[in-house]
Amino acid sequence: MHKETLGDIGEKELINRLGKFMPKNQISDDCALIKTKNNNNLLVNTDSMVENIHFNNLTICPQDLGWKAVVSNISDLLSSGSKKTIGITISLVLPPRTEWIWVEELYKGINKALKEYGGIILGGDCSKGNEKIISITAFGVQGELELRRNACKPGDIILTTGIHGLSKLGFLIQNKINFGNEFSLNKRLISKSIEHFCRPKVYPNFLNNLLKTRSNKKIRKIGCTDSSDGLFQALQDLAIASNCKAIINYEKIPKVEDWPKGDKWDEYYFFGGEDYELIFSLPKKWANNLSKLDKNINEIGFFIKGEASIEFKDNKKNKLFNKTPYKHF
């Protein structure tokens, strides 16, 4: 008889089942919230990168890998409303054949990211293994605004901090994928995609800009997540957690200049992952104020009452959502 495997149930169902061993709502967001007596509540996040799953020697150098490992954690902190990164702990699993220079370059990249976005190395652990694994736990301080997946409301405008799909394209380019004669990628697009894959950036001023443009000071919680698992997965997570229907306007989706057209490129855009953009929702007036202040913010749709799901405003595009999102197993 076939025994149920993680490949059968997938990551989301695995997390749901693990949630039964935790306090209620502990798995609602990527970050855990720890309340403190002085009201400087802590946000805690852990992300891991595994050799031949997330990286290899062909796709990324160790210094860029160190940078990316930090940024992936800080992105999750920001998407929960962290106003400050305190620091990180690092767990390394490394084969004995690993050269010291590889580890040294990894930590140079880690320190560059911390210098850019704040925080220090607090400690960690090392172990022997058959493949390289970098697991980072990051600690942040909860800001005035709580950003949570379950805080989207019908009527809210859906926004994104930037462009998607570039990291996926960068990954394919680094893996020497042949696109054939159908597409001609110019040097500018190639360079930008590799940069997004190897050296992703986050938005440390995002929370301050939200506070500056808040039209109603009584609002303390908004819906938000990041697109580390792809734009589609981010939208789905928000819709399910908030029990709303997301309506996406394909024509408003921001794309980089020279991005090719076609179904395959739409797949890269919506399902690629590792872009670390923030996907969030705001009341209309607040959304308009923020868009005027930050030109990198783009409105892409809105939430309505209805079954938790995603639809395109143009129904002809809905077939795209039949594709399979990024899988961890």
pLDDT value of position 322: 74
Q: Tell which of 142, 170, 200 closes a domain.
A: 142
Higher pLDDT, 263 or 100: 100
The reply to whether 164 and 136 lie within a common domain is: no
Same-domain check for residues 97 and 178: no
Banded model confidence at residue 325, pLDDT cuts 50, 70, 90: low
- 291 with 175, same domain? yes
Indicate the number of domains in the chain. 2
At 157-181, the pLDDT tens digits run 999 999 999 999 999 999 888 776 6
More confident residue, 234 or 184: 234
What is the per-residue pLDDT for 180? 66
Are 158 and 241 part of one and the same domain? Answer: yes
Question: In CATH, what number is assigned to the domain containing residue 133?
Answer: 3.30.1330.10
Read off the tokens for 297. 């913010």
d(CA 299, CA 270): 16
End-of-domain residue from the set 142, 175, 204: 142
C-alpha span between 106 and 125 (Å, rounded)? 15
Q: Any idea what the CATH number is for the domain that residue 265 is in?
A: 3.90.650.10
Say whether both 153 and 291 belong to one domain: yes
Q: Tell me: the pLDDT tens digits for 208-227?
A: 999 999 989 999 999 999 99
Same domain, 128 and 156: no
257 domain-assigned: yes
Whether residue 161 is found in the same domain as residue 198: yes
Range of the domain at 28: 23-142
Q: Where are the beta strands (DSSP E) in 101-174?
A: 120-128, 133-142, 146-148, 157-160
Same domain, 43 and 104: yes
Confidence of residue 185 (pLDDT cuts 50, 70, 90): confident
Residue 11 belongs to some domain of the structure: no
- Tell me whether residue 9 is in a domain: no
Question: Is residue 5, in this structure, part of any structural domain at all?
Answer: no
Are 193 and 270 members of one domain? Answer: yes
Tell which residue, 136, 100, 131, 103, has the closest CA to residue 120.
136
The answer as to whether 111 is a domain residue is yes
Same domain, 118 and 243: no
Looking at the fold, whether 80 and 135 belong to one and the same domain comes out as yes
Residue at 265 is within a domain: yes
157 and 290 share one domain: yes
Question: In the structure encoding, which two tokens stand for residue 320, read together?
Answer: 């795209």
Residues sharing a CB contact under 8 Å with residue 100, sequence separation 6 or more, in sequence order:
none
Looking at every residue in the chain, the average pLDDT score rounds to 91
For residue 92, give Cα distances in angstroms to 75, 98, 107: 21, 12, 11
Q: Which two tokens stand for residue 239?
A: 């819709």
**pLDDT-derived band at 324, boundaries 50, 70, 90:** low
In a domain, 63, yes or no: yes
Q: Give the model confidence (pLDDT) of 110-156 as tens digits.
A: 999 999 999 999 999 999 999 999 999 999 999 999 999 999 999 99
Sign of CA dihedral 69, 236, 232, 304: negative
Q: Which of 101, 94, 103 is nearest to 126 (CA)?
A: 94
pTM, two decimal places? 0.91
Last residue of a domain, one of 117, 142, 167: 142
Q: What is the dihedral sign for C-alpha 284, 285, 290, 293?
A: positive
60, part of any domain: yes
